[in-house]
Protein backbone atom coordinates (compact mmCIF):
# COMPACT_ATOMS: atom_id res chain seq x y z
CA UNK A 1 0.00 0.00 0.00
CA UNK A 2 1.50 3.31 -1.03
CA UNK A 3 1.12 6.09 1.48
CA UNK A 4 -0.20 9.44 0.41
CA UNK A 5 1.77 12.62 0.85
CA UNK A 6 0.08 14.57 3.60
CA UNK A 7 2.76 17.23 3.83
CA UNK A 8 1.84 20.89 3.68
CA UNK A 9 3.80 24.11 3.49
CA UNK A 10 3.02 27.01 5.78
CA UNK A 11 5.28 29.78 4.56
CA UNK A 12 8.84 28.51 4.73
CA UNK A 13 7.93 25.63 7.06
CA UNK A 14 6.97 22.17 5.88
CA UNK A 15 4.80 20.00 8.10
CA UNK A 16 4.45 16.23 7.67
CA UNK A 17 0.67 16.65 7.76
CA UNK A 18 -1.81 19.49 8.23
CA UNK A 19 -3.04 18.45 11.70
CA UNK A 20 -1.73 20.29 14.76
CA UNK A 21 -3.16 21.02 18.21
CA UNK A 22 -4.70 24.39 19.14
CA UNK A 23 -2.95 26.36 21.85
CA UNK A 24 -4.25 25.65 25.36
CA UNK A 25 -5.72 22.26 24.55
CA UNK A 26 -2.46 20.34 24.36
CA UNK A 27 0.50 19.50 26.56
CA UNK A 28 3.06 16.78 27.15
CA UNK A 29 0.37 14.96 29.13
CA UNK A 30 -1.24 13.86 25.87
CA UNK A 31 1.80 11.64 25.29
CA UNK A 32 0.13 9.23 27.74
CA UNK A 33 -2.44 8.60 25.05
CA UNK A 34 -0.51 8.57 21.77
CA UNK A 35 2.88 9.28 20.22
CA UNK A 36 2.88 13.02 19.71
CA UNK A 37 5.36 12.76 16.85
CA UNK A 38 2.55 11.77 14.49
CA UNK A 39 1.34 15.38 14.59
CA UNK A 40 2.21 17.92 11.90
CA UNK A 41 3.43 20.37 14.56
CA UNK A 42 3.22 21.00 18.29
CA UNK A 43 1.55 24.22 19.41
CA UNK A 44 1.99 25.02 23.10
CA UNK A 45 -0.30 26.78 25.56
CA UNK A 46 0.20 30.54 25.42
CA UNK A 47 2.97 31.69 27.72
CA UNK A 48 3.37 35.12 29.22
CA UNK A 49 6.54 36.60 30.61
CA UNK A 50 6.00 36.21 34.34
CA UNK A 51 4.25 33.71 36.58
CA UNK A 52 0.48 34.05 36.62
CA UNK A 53 -2.26 32.20 38.45
CA UNK A 54 -5.03 32.30 35.87
CA UNK A 55 -8.74 32.80 36.52
CA UNK A 56 -11.01 31.71 39.39
CA UNK A 57 -12.84 28.39 39.12
CA UNK A 58 -15.10 27.09 37.67
CA UNK A 59 -12.99 27.64 34.59
CA UNK A 60 -15.06 25.61 32.11
CA UNK A 61 -18.66 24.72 31.45
CA UNK A 62 -20.32 22.80 28.68
CA UNK A 63 -22.85 23.96 26.13
CA UNK A 64 -24.86 22.38 23.39
CA UNK A 65 -22.17 21.49 20.84
CA UNK A 66 -19.30 23.10 22.62
CA UNK A 67 -17.92 24.65 25.75
CA UNK A 68 -16.91 27.89 27.39
CA UNK A 69 -13.55 28.37 29.04
CA UNK A 70 -12.08 31.11 31.15
CA UNK A 71 -8.83 29.45 32.08
CA UNK A 72 -6.90 32.66 31.70
CA UNK A 73 -3.22 32.20 31.05
CA UNK A 74 -1.79 30.51 34.13
CA UNK A 75 1.76 30.86 32.89
CA UNK A 76 4.85 29.51 34.58
CA UNK A 77 6.82 32.21 32.83
CA UNK A 78 9.71 32.41 30.43
CA UNK A 79 12.24 30.66 32.69
CA UNK A 80 10.13 27.52 32.90
CA UNK A 81 9.70 27.61 29.13
CA UNK A 82 13.43 27.90 28.46
CA UNK A 83 14.64 25.50 31.14
CA UNK A 84 11.99 22.80 31.15
CA UNK A 85 9.55 22.93 28.23
CA UNK A 86 11.95 23.66 25.37
CA UNK A 87 14.32 20.76 26.21
CA UNK A 88 11.32 18.43 26.54
CA UNK A 89 9.81 19.35 23.18
CA UNK A 90 13.18 19.39 21.41
CA UNK A 91 13.24 15.59 21.61
CA UNK A 92 10.38 15.39 19.12
CA UNK A 93 10.70 15.59 15.34
CA UNK A 94 7.51 17.64 14.91
CA UNK A 95 8.24 21.39 14.67
CA UNK A 96 7.51 23.43 17.79
CA UNK A 97 5.24 26.46 17.67
CA UNK A 98 5.36 28.68 20.72
CA UNK A 99 2.33 30.81 21.53
CA UNK A 100 3.00 34.06 23.35
CA UNK A 101 0.92 36.89 24.70
CA UNK A 102 1.25 39.99 26.87
CA UNK A 103 -0.76 42.84 28.26
CA UNK A 104 1.43 45.54 26.78
CA UNK A 105 3.28 46.04 23.49
CA UNK A 106 6.60 46.34 25.30
CA UNK A 107 6.20 43.10 27.19
CA UNK A 108 4.95 41.33 24.05
CA UNK A 109 8.00 42.46 22.08
CA UNK A 110 10.38 41.45 24.84
CA UNK A 111 8.81 37.99 25.07
CA UNK A 112 9.08 37.50 21.29
CA UNK A 113 12.80 38.14 21.53
CA UNK A 114 13.18 35.85 24.54
CA UNK A 115 11.44 32.85 22.96
CA UNK A 116 13.37 33.13 19.70
CA UNK A 117 15.58 30.20 20.61
CA UNK A 118 17.01 27.22 18.73
CA UNK A 119 14.37 24.49 18.70
CA UNK A 120 11.49 26.91 18.15
CA UNK A 121 10.11 26.65 14.60
CA UNK A 122 7.58 29.48 14.76
CA UNK A 123 5.94 31.96 17.10
CA UNK A 124 2.16 32.17 17.28
CA UNK A 125 1.23 35.62 18.54
CA UNK A 126 -1.94 35.30 20.59
CA UNK A 127 -3.15 38.83 19.88
CA UNK A 128 -6.69 37.70 20.56
CA UNK A 129 -6.41 37.91 24.35
CA UNK A 130 -7.61 40.96 26.31
CA UNK A 131 -4.86 43.44 27.14
CA UNK A 132 -4.53 46.32 29.53
CA UNK A 133 -3.27 49.08 27.23
CA UNK A 134 -6.33 48.85 25.00
CA UNK A 135 -8.82 48.97 27.87
CA UNK A 136 -9.36 45.23 28.02
CA UNK A 137 -9.73 44.78 24.28
CA UNK A 138 -7.67 42.27 22.37
CA UNK A 139 -5.05 43.72 20.02
CA UNK A 140 -6.70 41.81 17.17
CA UNK A 141 -10.02 43.58 17.61
CA UNK A 142 -8.80 46.43 15.40
CA UNK A 143 -6.47 46.77 12.39
CA UNK A 144 -4.47 49.65 13.93
CA UNK A 145 -3.59 47.84 17.19
CA UNK A 146 -2.92 44.66 15.22
CA UNK A 147 -0.53 46.52 12.94
CA UNK A 148 1.27 48.13 15.83
CA UNK A 149 1.78 44.96 17.85
CA UNK A 150 2.83 42.92 14.81
CA UNK A 151 5.35 45.62 13.83
CA UNK A 152 6.85 45.45 17.33
CA UNK A 153 7.01 41.65 17.27
CA UNK A 154 8.45 41.50 13.76
CA UNK A 155 11.29 43.77 14.84
CA UNK A 156 12.25 41.33 17.60
CA UNK A 157 12.33 37.97 15.85
CA UNK A 158 13.48 36.34 12.63
CA UNK A 159 11.34 33.27 13.25
CA UNK A 160 8.15 32.68 11.25
CA UNK A 161 5.52 34.75 13.02
CA UNK A 162 1.85 33.75 13.05
CA UNK A 163 -0.98 36.07 14.07
CA UNK A 164 -3.93 34.41 15.81
CA UNK A 165 -7.11 36.38 15.19
CA UNK A 166 -10.29 36.73 17.20
CA UNK A 167 -13.79 36.05 15.89
CA UNK A 168 -14.98 38.91 18.10
CA UNK A 169 -13.81 41.54 15.63
CA UNK A 170 -16.20 43.00 13.10
CA UNK A 171 -13.42 43.50 10.57
CA UNK A 172 -11.45 40.24 10.31
CA UNK A 173 -10.16 40.90 6.81
CA UNK A 174 -8.79 44.33 7.68
CA UNK A 175 -7.15 42.83 10.79
CA UNK A 176 -5.63 39.99 8.76
CA UNK A 177 -4.32 42.39 6.11
CA UNK A 178 -2.84 44.61 8.82
CA UNK A 179 -1.03 41.61 10.32
CA UNK A 180 0.22 40.57 6.89
CA UNK A 181 1.41 44.08 6.06
CA UNK A 182 3.46 44.17 9.24
CA UNK A 183 5.22 40.91 8.53
CA UNK A 184 3.00 38.07 9.72
CA UNK A 185 4.03 34.84 7.97
CA UNK A 186 0.65 33.17 8.58
CA UNK A 187 -2.79 33.97 9.95
CA UNK A 188 -4.57 31.64 12.37
CA UNK A 189 -8.39 31.79 12.29
CA UNK A 190 -9.36 31.79 15.03
CA UNK A 191 -9.39 32.00 18.80
CA UNK A 192 -12.56 31.53 20.89
CA UNK A 193 -15.72 33.65 20.62
CA UNK A 194 -16.60 35.57 23.75
CA UNK A 195 -19.66 34.08 25.44
CA UNK A 196 -21.53 33.61 28.69
CA UNK A 197 -23.72 31.09 30.46
CA UNK A 198 -25.91 31.42 33.55
CA UNK A 199 -27.18 28.70 35.88
CA UNK A 200 -30.87 29.61 36.09
CA UNK A 201 -31.23 27.84 39.43
CA UNK A 202 -28.60 29.90 41.24
CA UNK A 203 -28.69 32.88 38.81
CA UNK A 204 -24.91 32.80 38.89
CA UNK A 205 -22.66 32.79 35.85
CA UNK A 206 -21.39 29.28 35.23
CA UNK A 207 -17.80 30.56 34.90
CA UNK A 208 -15.84 32.06 37.77
CA UNK A 209 -14.70 34.78 35.38
CA UNK A 210 -18.35 35.52 34.34
CA UNK A 211 -17.54 35.50 30.60
CA UNK A 212 -15.40 33.10 28.62
CA UNK A 213 -14.35 31.85 25.22
CA UNK A 214 -16.64 29.57 23.25
CA UNK A 215 -15.15 26.68 21.31
CA UNK A 216 -16.14 23.37 19.81
CA UNK A 217 -18.40 22.34 16.91
CA UNK A 218 -20.84 25.20 17.60
CA UNK A 219 -18.26 27.82 16.54
CA UNK A 220 -17.11 25.99 13.42
CA UNK A 221 -19.15 27.98 10.87
CA UNK A 222 -17.72 31.24 12.22
CA UNK A 223 -14.12 30.01 12.11
CA UNK A 224 -14.68 28.52 8.66
CA UNK A 225 -16.11 31.81 7.40
CA UNK A 226 -13.10 33.73 8.75
CA UNK A 227 -10.73 31.19 7.22
CA UNK A 228 -12.41 31.63 3.85
CA UNK A 229 -12.40 35.43 4.09
CA UNK A 230 -8.76 35.63 5.13
CA UNK A 231 -7.49 33.00 2.69
CA UNK A 232 -9.22 34.94 -0.04
CA UNK A 233 -7.78 38.30 0.98
CA UNK A 234 -4.25 37.43 2.14
CA UNK A 235 -1.15 36.26 0.33
CA UNK A 236 0.23 34.53 3.40
CA UNK A 237 -1.13 31.10 4.38
CA UNK A 238 -4.09 30.77 6.72
CA UNK A 239 -4.38 28.10 9.42
CA UNK A 240 -7.96 27.12 10.26
CA UNK A 241 -9.07 26.57 13.85
CA UNK A 242 -12.46 26.23 15.47
CA UNK A 243 -14.71 23.26 16.07
CA UNK A 244 -12.74 20.78 14.00
CA UNK A 245 -13.58 17.23 15.10
CA UNK A 246 -14.10 15.07 12.01
CA UNK A 247 -12.42 14.37 8.67
CA UNK A 248 -15.14 16.37 6.91
CA UNK A 249 -14.38 19.31 9.18
CA UNK A 250 -10.69 19.14 8.19
CA UNK A 251 -11.60 18.94 4.52
CA UNK A 252 -14.02 21.86 4.81
CA UNK A 253 -11.28 24.11 6.19
CA UNK A 254 -8.76 22.98 3.58
CA UNK A 255 -11.26 23.51 0.77
CA UNK A 256 -12.05 26.97 2.19
CA UNK A 257 -8.35 27.79 1.81
CA UNK A 258 -6.60 26.71 5.01
CA UNK A 259 -3.04 25.47 4.52
CA UNK A 260 -3.27 23.51 7.79
CA UNK A 261 -5.65 23.14 10.73
CA UNK A 262 -5.57 23.21 14.50
CA UNK A 263 -7.70 20.92 16.64
CA UNK A 264 -8.65 22.04 20.15
CA UNK A 265 -11.79 21.15 22.05
CA UNK A 266 -12.31 17.90 20.13
CA UNK A 267 -9.28 16.49 21.97
CA UNK A 268 -11.18 16.89 25.25
CA UNK A 269 -13.99 14.72 23.96
CA UNK A 270 -11.66 12.25 22.32
CA UNK A 271 -7.97 12.53 23.19
CA UNK A 272 -7.03 10.33 20.23
CA UNK A 273 -8.87 12.47 17.67
CA UNK A 274 -5.82 14.13 16.06
CA UNK A 275 -4.06 10.81 15.46
CA UNK A 276 -7.30 9.46 14.01
CA UNK A 277 -7.82 12.46 11.70
CA UNK A 278 -4.33 12.03 10.22
CA UNK A 279 -5.01 8.36 9.47
CA UNK A 280 -8.45 9.14 8.05
CA UNK A 281 -7.09 11.92 5.85
CA UNK A 282 -4.46 9.59 4.47
CA UNK A 283 -7.07 6.90 3.72
CA UNK A 284 -9.37 9.45 2.14
CA UNK A 285 -6.62 10.78 -0.16
CA UNK A 286 -5.82 7.29 -1.30
CA UNK A 287 -9.46 6.39 -1.90
CA UNK A 288 -9.98 9.63 -3.85
CA UNK A 289 -6.72 9.41 -5.76
CA UNK A 290 -5.55 12.70 -4.32
CA UNK A 291 -1.76 12.74 -4.35
CA UNK A 292 -1.13 16.09 -2.71
CA UNK A 293 -3.16 18.34 -0.44
CA UNK A 294 -2.37 21.19 -2.82
CA UNK A 295 -5.21 19.76 -4.94
CA UNK A 296 -7.65 20.35 -2.10
CA UNK A 297 -6.51 23.56 -0.44
CA UNK A 298 -8.57 26.52 -1.60
CA UNK A 299 -10.58 24.40 -4.04
CA UNK A 300 -13.93 25.80 -2.93
CA UNK A 301 -16.40 26.06 -5.79
CA UNK A 302 -18.57 29.14 -5.54
CA UNK A 303 -21.49 28.72 -7.96
CA UNK A 304 -21.63 31.68 -10.29
CA UNK A 305 -18.26 33.02 -9.22
CA UNK A 306 -16.53 34.23 -6.11
CA UNK A 307 -18.38 35.58 -3.11
CA UNK A 308 -16.30 37.38 -0.52
Partner 1 sequence: MTLIPSILSVPPSPGVTARCAEARAIVLSNMPVNGEYRLLTLDAPAEVLDCAPGQFFQLLCPVPEGEHPFLRRPMSIYGYDAHAEQLQFLYKIAGAGTRGLATLRAGDTLNVLGPLGQGFTMPDAWQNLMLVARGVGLATLAPLARMAQQQGRSLTAICSARSPELAMSVDLFRSYGAEVIVVHDEDGSSEVPALEALIEARIAAGSVDAFYTCGSRRLLTMLQRLGQKHGIPGEIAMEQQMACGLGMCQACVRPFREGNEVVHRRVCREGPVFPISEAIA
242 makes contact, choosing from partner 1, ligand FMN, none, with CB < 5 to 8 Å by partner type, with ligand FMN
Instruction: Report d(CA 167, CA 151) in Å as an integer.
Output: 21
> In this structure, are residues 167 and 226 in contact, taking their beta carbons and an 8 Å threshold?
yes
Q: CA end-to-end span of the chain, whole Å?
A: 41
Q: In the beta sheet, which residues pair with residue 194? A: 213
Check residue 192 for interaction with partner 1 (CB under 8 A): no
Interaction residues for partner 1, span 269-288 (CB under 8 A): 269-272
Q: Is 230 a catalytic residue?
A: no
Strands 193-196 and 211-215: antiparallel
Q: Give the C-alpha distances (Å, rounded to integers) separating 116 from 16, 123, 155, 161.
A: 23, 8, 12, 10
Q: Confirm whether residue 45 is marked as ligand binding.
A: yes
164 makes contact, choosing from partner 1, ligand FMN, none, with CB < 5 to 8 Å by partner type, with ligand FMN
Residues 6+ apart with CB under 8 A from 225: none
- Count the neighbouring beta carbons within 10 Å of the beta carbon of residue 93: 10
> In this structure, are residues 125 and 161 in contact, taking their beta carbons and an 8 Å threshold?
yes
Instruction: Report d(CA 43, CA 173) in Å as an integer.
Output: 24
Choose the catalytic residue: 129, 230, 234, 241.
Answer: 129
Q: Which stretch binds ligand FMN (CB under 6 A): 16-24, 80-88, 172-180, 281-289?
A: 16-24
Q: How far is the CB of 240 from partner 1 (least distance, A)?
A: 21
Q: How far is the CB of 107 from partner 1 (least distance, A)?
A: 18
Nearest one of 307, 206, 230, 217 to 263, comparing CA atoms: 217
157 makes contact, choosing from ligand FMN, partner 1, none, with CB < 5 to 8 Å by partner type, with none
51 makes contact, choosing from ligand FMN, partner 1, none, with CB < 5 to 8 Å by partner type, with partner 1
Output Rg (C-alpha) for the chain, integer angstroms: 18
State which of residues 10, 134, 165, 219 lies at the interface with ligand FMN (CB under 6 A).
219
Alpha-helical runs (H) found in the chain: 77-80, 86-90, 105-115, 143-156, 172-181, 220-233, 247-256, 266-269, 273-288
Q: How far is the CB of 208 from partner 1 (least distance, A)?
A: 5
272 makes contact, choosing from ligand FMN, partner 1, none, with CB < 5 to 8 Å by partner type, with partner 1
Give, as one character, the DSSP assignment of residue 83: I
3 state DSSP class of 199: strand
> In this structure, are residues 19 and 294 in contact, taking their beta carbons and an 8 Å threshold?
no
Closest to ligand FMN by CB, 6 or 138? 138
Check residue 145 for interaction with ligand FMN (CB under 6 A): no
Interaction residues for ligand FMN, span 151-180 (CB under 6 A): 164
Interaction residues for partner 1, span 210-239 (CB under 8 A): 216
Q: How far is the CB of 287 from ligand FMN (least distance, A)?
A: 25
> Residues at the annotated binding site for FMN?
23, 45-46, 126, 164, 216, 242-243, 264-265
Binding stretches for partner 1 (CB under 8 A): 24-27, 29-30, 32-33, 45, 51-67, 69, 71, 74, 76, 84, 204, 208, 216, 267-272
Active site residues: 129
Give the footprint of ligand FMN on this chain (CB under 6 A).
22-25, 45-46, 69, 71, 73, 99, 126, 164, 191-192, 215-216, 219, 241-244, 263-266
Amino acid sequence: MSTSDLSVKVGELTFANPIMPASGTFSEDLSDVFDLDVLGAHVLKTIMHGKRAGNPTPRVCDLQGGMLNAIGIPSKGIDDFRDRMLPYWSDYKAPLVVSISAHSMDEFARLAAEVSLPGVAAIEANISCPNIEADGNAFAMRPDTTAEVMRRLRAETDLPLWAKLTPNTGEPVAVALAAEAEGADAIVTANTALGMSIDVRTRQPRLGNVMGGMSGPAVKPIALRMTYQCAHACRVPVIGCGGIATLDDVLEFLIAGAAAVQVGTATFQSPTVMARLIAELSDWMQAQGVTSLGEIIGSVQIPGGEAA
